[in-house]
Amino acid sequence: GQQLNQSPQSMFIQEGEDVSMNCTSSSIFNTWLWYKQEPGEGPVLLIALYKAGELTSNGRLTAQFGITRKDSFLNISASIPSDVGIYFCAGRGIQGAQKLVFGQGTRLTINP
């Protein structure tokens, strides 16, 4: 079945540093999404990407849909304490538009 490999699994950074995480797939996706999940909450959508090569920003967050349609990355610039959480990539494949396939998550910890 479709699987997403997300890396790194965890990151420990200083406040103000930039962050980069990525996701790769063995199969093609039509949509890439990035979510953030905090304790006791469901995932919250950060950025949605619909076209290969698309680069989209949301404040300090930037994400790109890889041109091969098998990968995506998320960058966070000038990290702040409220960026702490678990970030998930998710993709929607050619078959089965209904379901989102999620990566394993990247846990971000920030030292003030």
Partner 1 sequence: ETGVTQSPTHLIKTRGQQVTLRCSSQSGHNTVSWYQQALGQGPQFIFQYYREEENGRGNFPPRFSGLQFPNYSSELNVNALELDDSALYLCASSATSGFQETQYFGPGTRLLVL
* Interacting residues toward partner 1 by CB under 8 A: 1, 4, 6, 30-31, 35, 40-45, 48, 50, 88, 90, 92, 96-105
CB of 54 to partner 1, least distance (A): 13
Question: Which residue, 41 or 82, is less far from partner 1 as judged by CB?
Answer: 41
CB of 71 to partner 1, least distance (A): 16
Q: Which tokens is 20 given?
A: 């980069």
Q: How far apart are CA 65 and CA 53, in angstroms?
A: 5
Count CB neighbours of 26 within 10 A. 10
CA distance between the termini of the chain: 41
Nearest to 91 by CA among 46, 36, 27: 27
CA atoms 28, 29, 34, 40: torsion sign: negative
CB of 70 to partner 1, least distance (A): 17
Question: Which residue, 42 or 59, is less far from partner 1 as judged by CB?
Answer: 42
Question: Which residue, 77 or 107, is less far from partner 1 as judged by CB?
Answer: 107
CB of 74 to partner 1, least distance (A): 14
